[in-house]
Structure 1
Amino acid sequence: MFPSHFVATRRKGAPSALVICALVALGGCAQPLTDVTGSIGATRRAELPTDEAELRRFADEWGRRFDADPKNKSVALTYAKALHALDRNAQAVAVLQGLAIRYPDDLSVLGAYGKSLADAGRLRDAADVLSRAHTPERPDWTVLSAQGSIADQLGNHEEAREYYQTALKIKPNDPKVLSNLGLSYALSKQLPQAESTLLTAASQPTADMRVRQNLALVLALQGKFEEAESWSRHDLAPIDAAANVASIRQMIAQSNSWREIQSYSEKTKRKSAEAPAPRARLGALTSSATSPE
């Protein structure tokens, strides 16, 4: 799989070009494909700093609060959120595991714990916890999106898209869910559908850099390099946008996947012209809380 975004994160300073993992029949990257929407940020009581040094001080402060009162749900959730932001995912899991033991029936705690497990790469454990983090009567669109992300990472792309579509019934046009859906189409080699979905995601007012860079990635994988670079420039300096697109071109050349991408795209276009598009399957709320395993 490929990363959910292919520029450096905010904690690493100015974005630089990264080598992108091929998505078409080439999988194998350790990083998750999609954004686990709502990742352990279940509390809004404290906003995370954007500066890394400040973020570390923030984590230290909330760590001390957690040590003093580990049963405090709000404190534990905030501390785990800070740990996740620092990529200390195993530690975040430990904090939330203890919280889940204390509050085994709290859906918000189970949701945060399941998402932290997914962030730490423990996908099947995450799927099990998230299946208990909401109910048909109280569905949570962020949990549904996280379940879709896990299903995608486990290779169950059709099932993943059912989760995303169900999440979109609750939160229409959410850009992160649409972005996950678009990348899921890309993993299934449905590049035109991926592009269309990501264009919708990027057009939303709340779309962030990751959504636009995901669109740029899918555009570049179809050979639409100028369009990809144009979208990258929404958030990156021209030199960084060009470097990102160049890294994709290099990947394609080295892996020989470009020919496969072109061939598949042409076949998809011909099929689309010959027959009406199939209706998308929508996941029922009654099945959305089941594990994607």
Structure 2
Amino acid sequence: MRDLRCLARFAASAALTVSVAVSLAGCKTMGMADVTGSLGGRNEASTDPNRAVEIAGDRYRSRPNDPDAAIAYGNALRAIGQRAQAVAVLEKASLANPSNKAVRAAYGRALADNGNFQLAFDTLSRAHSPDNPDWRILSVQGTVLDQMGRNEEARRYYASALRLAPDEPSVLSNLGMSYVLTKELPKAEQTLRQAYANGRADSRVRQNLALVIGLQGRYAEAESIVRADLPPDEAAANVAYLKEMVSGHDTARAAGRGVLASGR
């Protein structure tokens, strides 16, 4: 339930003009890895993140100069929220393998997770080239720009990614959430529905669509989408939590206006 509740906190903040960047930065499960498609393969023990860290860490320590081992360990650390440690591992690997673009890409994503957005963007820019662009990296660069408040520029990166990977659901999902950040909820829903219709859409796409639908007050419809990934009672609880958060912020704003009015 924690993942969707984290999304709910983000959504309530975005919809009510609280700083979205702060919401994202303070939300463990809504990091860059959750917003975007993966730049590398999933770790071999993804169902148990702590076990994955043990396996990847042992491999890394036995082969400290292996860039693939460093990437796997860094990704495993990111998955359990050890962002600073992931940055340290991947920074070392990047210095040891300056021409390895896969290491640069992983390092850039770790920097973004850790809130080092400008350095992340610059690092990701060096992980591919204009004559050989990688749609995955373009999409991650878009999410970094969104978190820097450069939404229109971010959408140009998503458009470039979609030219290389038409209808890619992870990119469309990122674009949809970009519209959430600027409170363009109908556009967000339209884009996320396009992603949702793709057979390769994963749970993150469904959660984002449910989020946008819930933000527009259609809670029953949002719950029906969330049920694809959660038991009915948990789905209902998460949507109820979203409704409570949105209503709670509205109440706070109304109370604030009341204080101002009475103070005139």
TM-score (norm 2): 0.83
Whole-angstrom distance in 2 between the partners of 1:107 and 1:51? 28
Moved more, 140-149 or 242-251: 242-251
The corresponding residue for 1:289 is none
Asked if 2 retains the 8 angstrom alpha-carbon contact of 1:90 and 1:120, the reply is: yes
- Aligned match of 2:256: none
Counting aligned pairs with the same residue, the percent is 44
Higher relative contact order (CA 8 A, sep 6+): 1
Question: Which residue is equivalent to 1:20?
Answer: 9
CA distance in 1: counterparts of 2:47 and 2:212, whole angstroms: 30
Cα 1:73–1:198 shift into 2, 3 Å: same
Q: Does 1:171 align with 2:165?
A: yes
Distance 2:153 2:131 in 1: 21
Say if 1:212 and 1:232, in contact at 8 Å, map to a contact too: yes
Alignment partner, residue 36 of structure 2:
37
Aligned length: 244
**Between Structure 1 and Structure 2, which shows a larger proportion of helix residues?**
2
Residue segments in structure 1 that go unaligned for 5+ positions in a row: 1-6, 10-14, 260-293
Secondary structure of the structure 2 residue equivalent to 1:185? helix
1:182–1:128 distance in 2 versus 1, CA, 3 Å: same
User: After superposition, where does 1:189-268 map in structure 2 within 5 Å?
Assistant: 189-256=183-250
Letter paired with 1:244? N
Instruction: Report the Cα distance in structure 2 between the residues aligned to 1:118 and 1:18, rounded to whole angstroms.
Output: 18
Distance 1:199 1:98, change over 3 A: same
Question: 20-29 or 149-158: which moved more?
Answer: 20-29
Distance 2:6 2:98 in 1: 43
Q: Of residues 85, 89, 110 in structure 2, which corresponds to 1:95?
A: 89
| Structure 2 CA distance for aligned equivalents of residues 33 and 195 of structure 1 | 21
| Partner in structure 2 of residue 285 of structure 1 | none
For 1:37 and 1:250, locate their aligned partners in 2 and report how far apart those are by CA, in whole Å.
27
Q: Would you say 1:147 and 2:146 are equivalent positions?
A: no
AA partner of residue 68 (structure 2)? S
Contact 2:37–2:170 (Cα < 8 Å) also in 1: no
C-alpha distance in structure 2 between counterparts of 1:33 and 1:60, whole Å:
22
For the residues of structure 1 that align with 2:157 and 2:6, how far apart are their CA atoms?
Answer: 32
Offset, 1:204: 1.2
User: How much does 1:163 deviate?
Assistant: 1.0
CA distance in 1, matches of 2:235, 2:129: 43
The structure-2 alpha-carbon separation of the partners of 1:64 and 1:127, relative to structure 1 and needing over 3 Å to count, comes to: same
Matched, 1:84 2:41: no
Report the CA distance between 1:231 and its aligned residue.
0.7
**Range with greater deviation from structure 2 (137-146 or 72-81):** 72-81
Taking structure 1 as the reference length, the TM-score comes to 0.76
Counterpart Cα distance in 1 of 2:200 and 2:182 = 26
Q: Which of 43, 46, 49 does residue 50 from structure 1 map onto? A: 46
1:127, 1:147 within 8 Å by CA — same for their partners in 2? yes
Distance (Å, rounded) in 2 between the aligned partners of 1:110 and 1:230: 40
Letter in structure 2 aligned against 1:197: T
- 1:20 is displaced (CA, Å) by 2.1
Q: Relative to structure 2, which stretch is displaced further, 59-68 or 17-26?
A: 17-26
Separation of aligned partners in 2, 1:220 and 1:197: 15
1-structure distance, mates of 2:81, 2:153 = 28
The aligned amino acid for 1:60 is E
Change (3 A) 1:36 1:240: closer
Question: What secondary structure sits across from 2:9 in the alignment?
Answer: coil
| Cα distance in 1, alignment partners of residues 99 and 230 from structure 2 | 44
Structure 2: 5+ residue stretches without partners:
254-264
